[in-house]
Amino acid sequence: MVTPSYEARVNLALRARQKIPTLSNRAAAKIYKVNKNTLENRHASQPSRRDIPANLQKLTDLEEITIVQYITKLYTRAFPPRLSFVEDMAN
């Protein structure tokens, strides 16, 4: 039997709370074996830490995708860029 991941159990607990309004956070957390504080945070629409971008991220997602596509294009043409060249593009 495959056990669901922690995130799946959190989502199941949240759905159970929506369907059964009398179900408390504590009871749902105990039934689905998740942390009560995590369940309360998700119920308050706080995203998981995995989904929050890092504070020290220097590039936006679009800039990062653009640089990766350009490096891939250079590599397919047999011109792999050097580290200094990639660093200049990022700066």
Torsion of CA 57, 62, 68, 73, to 10 degrees: -160
Flag whether pLDDT at 55 surpasses 90. Answer: no
The model's confidence at residue 36, banded by pLDDT at 50, 70 and 90, is very high
pLDDT tens digits, 16-31: 999 998 999 899 999 9
Start-to-end C-alpha separation, the chain: 50
Does 2 score more than 70 pLDDT?
Answer: no
Instruction: Count CB atoms within 10 A of the CB of residue 58.
Output: 9
**What pLDDT sits at residue 1?**
57
Global pTM? Answer: 0.55
pLDDT at 82: 85
Q: Residue 13 CA to chain centroid, in angstroms?
A: 19
* CA–CA dist 70, 35 (Å, integer): 43
